[in-house]
């Protein structure tokens, strides 16, 4: 069994958790998150804590239990403070603008790219930096990856979209004789 599952998950004061069957709902200052888990895992709420235990001794259940605890901890943390990712845009003429419910990217193509912004995310675009924040860690990471995939950083000049702390390994260009 996972080391995470051996300890109870403490529920903070500002957060309300309700367990109904295999789904868990977490309500906090930043919003409500709901997630369904495997029926092979038992989730109980006692005295301001959540207890997670396997219903059987199958190998797949043992693998899922640590993941389940991590998801619940992320839900509780996300309902209190927003998760965030920053993307840096490098390149001449590369920019991002927010127009209504879309983010419009100019990435050196013959056309601009419009990407709809999910309702549960907050996006701020400032001079070459896109800040993505929200209560759901998976939605934040997935949207950041989707934006980055539009123009990955290239290894010669480093142009493209990269994460804030990402290191792009640079290649040496052609040598002149």
Mean pLDDT of the chain: 89
Structural fold of domain 83-163: Outer Surface Protein A; domain 3 (3.90.930)
Q: Which residues pair with 136 in a beta bridge?
A: none
Domain residue extents for the chain:
3-80, 83-163
Mean pLDDT score, 45-67: 87
The kind and range of the H/E element at 161 are strand 160-163
Tokens of 120: 């549960």
Per CATH, domain 3-80 is 3.90.930.12: yes
Which of helix, strand or coil describes residue 13? coil
**Is there a common fold for 3-80 and 83-163?**
yes
Look at 5-9, 14-18, 158-162 and tell me which has the smallest mean pLDDT: 5-9
- CA dist 154 and 40 (Å) reads 45
């Amino acid at each position: 069994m996972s080391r995470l599952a051996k300890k109870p998950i403490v529920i903070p004061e500002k957060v309300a958790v309700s367990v109904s069957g295999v789904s868990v709902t977490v309500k906090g200052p930043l919003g409500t998150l709901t997630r369904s888990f495997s029926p092979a895992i038992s989730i109980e709420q006692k005295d301001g804590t959540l207890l997670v235990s396997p219903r059987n001794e199958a190998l797949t259940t043992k693998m899922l239990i640590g993941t389940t605890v991590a998801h619940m901890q992320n839900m509780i943390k996300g309902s209190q403070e927003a998760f965030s990712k920053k993307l840096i845009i490098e390149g001449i003429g590369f920019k991002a603008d927010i127009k209504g419910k879309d983010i419009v990217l100019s990435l050196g193509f013959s056309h601009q790219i419009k990407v709809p912004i999910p309702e549960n995310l907050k996006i701020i675009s400032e001079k070459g930096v896109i800040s993505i924040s929200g209560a759901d860690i998976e939605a934040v990471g997935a949207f950041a990856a989707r934006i980055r995939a539009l123009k990955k950083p290239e290894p010669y000049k480093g142009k493209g979209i990269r994460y804030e702390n990402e290191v792009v390994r640079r290649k040496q260009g052609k040598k002149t004789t």
